[in-house]
Chains A and B, each alone.
Chain A
Amino acid sequence: MSDIPPAGAQPTVAEKIFTFVDERVGLKLLAAKMLNESVPGGSRWAYVFGSILLFIFIMQAVTGVLLMFYYVPTADHAYASTQYILHDVDYGWFLLSYHFWGSTAMVVCVFAHMSQVFLWGAYKKPRELIWLVGLALFALVMGFGFTGYLLPWDQRAYWATTVGVEIMDKIPIMGDFLARFLKGGPTPGQMTLSRFFVIHVMVLPAALIALAGLHLFLFRCAGPAGPFRGAPAELKAKTDYFFPRQIWKDVVGMAVVFASVSAMAFWEPVVLLEEATPDPGDYHPEPEWYFLFIFQHLRLKMFSGEFGQFLGSMGLPGLLGVMLVLLPFFDRSPERNIFKRPFALIGWVMLTASILLFTVSAIINREFLD
Chain B
Amino acid sequence: MQPQLKSKVHCSDREVGEVSRVIMDPLSHEVSHLVVSMNGAGERQVPMGAVQAVTDDLVQLRTSSSEVMGMQPFNREDYVTLHEVEIPGLEKHIHVTPGEVLVPFPELERNVKRRAFFANLTYVTGLFIGLPLVYPVMKFLMKPMYAPLDNGWLKIGHIGKMKVEDAGIQFQYKRKIKEAYLHEAEIEKNVWLVKASPAVLEKVYQGKDMEFLNASGEAIWTNKKDVPFLAFSGKCPHLGCAYKWRKHKVLGQVFLCPCHLSIYDASGRVLDGPAPRPLDMLPIQVSAAGEVQIIDMEFKAGTKSQTRIV
Contact = CB atoms under 8 A, between A and B. Distances in A.
Given A185-B147, A304-B276, A305-B276, A280 B142 contact: no
Interface in B259-310: 259-261, 273-276, 298, 300-304, 309-310
Nearest to B179: A190
B27 interface: yes
A186 interface: yes
Given A36-B84, A76-B185, A223-B88, A167 B27 contact: no
Interface residues of B, number: 52
Interface in B209-257: 234-235, 238-242
A187 B309 contact: yes
B88 A220 contact: yes
A245 to B, nearest CB: 15
Nearest to B273: A304
Given A38-B86, A170-B302, A309-B274, A74 B182 contact: yes
Contact of A298 (B85, B188, B260): B260
Interface in A289-321: 295, 298-301, 303-306, 308-309, 312
A186 B180 CA distance: 14
Interface in A10-35: 29, 32-34
A75 B26 contact: no
Given A278-B234, A280-B242, A285-B242, A308 B274 contact: yes
Given A163-B259, A223-B88, A279-B234, A76 B182 contact: yes
Interface string A153-177: 0000001001100110110000011
Contact of A167 (B179, B190, B239, B309): B239
Report, as a range, how many residues of chain A touch the other chain.
Answer: 35 or more
Contacts of A32: 80, 83-85
Nearest to A193: B179
Contacts of B234: 278-279
Contacts of A170: 302
A295 B260 CA distance: 7
Contacts, number: 150
Interface string B8-28: 000000000000000001111
Interface of A: 29, 32-34, 36-38, 40, 74-76, 159, 162-163, 166-167, 169-170, 176-177, 180-181, 183-187, 189-191, 220-223, 232, 235-236, 239, 241, 277-280, 284-286, 295, 298-301, 303-306, 308-309, 312, 369
21 contacts: A33-B83, A33-B85, A37-B85, A163-B240, A169-B300, A176-B300, A186-B310, A187-B298, A220-B86, A223-B89, A232-B27, A232-B28, A236-B26, A241-B85, A278-B234, A280-B242, A284-B259, A295-B260, A298-B274, A304-B275, A305-B304
Given A36-B85, A186-B146, 17 more contacts: A38-B86, A74-B182, A159-B241, A166-B302, A169-B300, A185-B144, A185-B145, A186-B147, A189-B179, A190-B180, A221-B88, A278-B235, A279-B242, A284-B258, A285-B241, A285-B242, A309-B302
